[in-house]
Structure 1
């Protein structure tokens, strides 16, 4: 049977390495974020898994990126682009 790769968004949980890759953080940062309850997870079979819903929520609640040149000119964040 052929293995098909699916998007991380389709999974309920990802491992810590995958969460670190998605968020562009270190594995240690992911554990810290779980300790601070910024990310939710479970331990199953000795493996720490991160809830994809908590990753999506973290990304959705993150402030919009505003280039420093726009911040200096006082352009509000709402006028800037949204990341998809």
Structure 2
């Protein structure tokens, strides 16, 4: 069973999952509500890699139906905390 995360921990995990798609400074500077795909210019493969990383944090596969819920850091954090 995956660990229970706090809001701050979930935010840190989402930002960690974004490493490599932008510099550490760019990822750290992202607003919680900024659209991730456009802010970091994520293509389809990059986004799938990000989803795989979040799946590891969550401890379960994230289904394609849930992808629209992963648009910003805030929405990703909420997704992780409600599962």
Structure with greater strand share of residues: 1
Task: Work out which of the two has the higher radius of gyration on C-alpha atoms and give 1 or 2.
Answer: 1
Structure with greater helix share of residues: 2
TM > 0.5: no
